Structure 1
Amino acid sequence: PICVAKTQSSFTTDPDAKGVPLGHTIPIREVRLSAGAEFVVVICGDIMTMPGLPRVPAANNIELAADGRISGLF
């Protein structure tokens, strides 16, 4: 599958363009392979992406002792 990362405000990469403009070309800035997720990410316009999560979330290391002490945060 292909994931297109662009503004959510428009079909184009211009957030101010409304509707479906005719003749618009989407500029592709970068193409990334997300091999673990098995898809390709196409980065368009000035969009920024969020980092992916690790295989084991950091929350798995957090423990709460009976006396209320928290460990495993860092």
Structure 2
Amino acid sequence: MSLIAWVILFLLQSLFYKWVLSWGGAQWLVGLKSALTFGWMSWDWNTEQIRFYALLLWIIASIWFVIGVFQPNLRF
């Protein structure tokens, strides 16, 4: 994957996580929609749990993004 595609992918992920955390996305995702988005284990989570999970995923994605910038063979 090229560096440009890697950056665009991370920006799209970041936009999604920002929506979930700050712009009311977690409230909209409560219920079955969260299970379809984050996996089956999240179907009964409340808004705060969804926000926390999105924050954890964003942190992990950010670390992976930085690693992928310097190690091109880890971009997939």
Higher strand fraction (1 or 2) = 1
Tell me which interval the TM-score lies in, with the shorter structure as reference length: under 0.3
* Higher RCO (C-alpha under 8 Å, 6+ residues apart): 2
TM-score normalised by L of structure 2 = 0.23
TM-score, structure 1 length as denominator? 0.24
Higher helix share: 2
Highest Rg: 1 or 2? 1
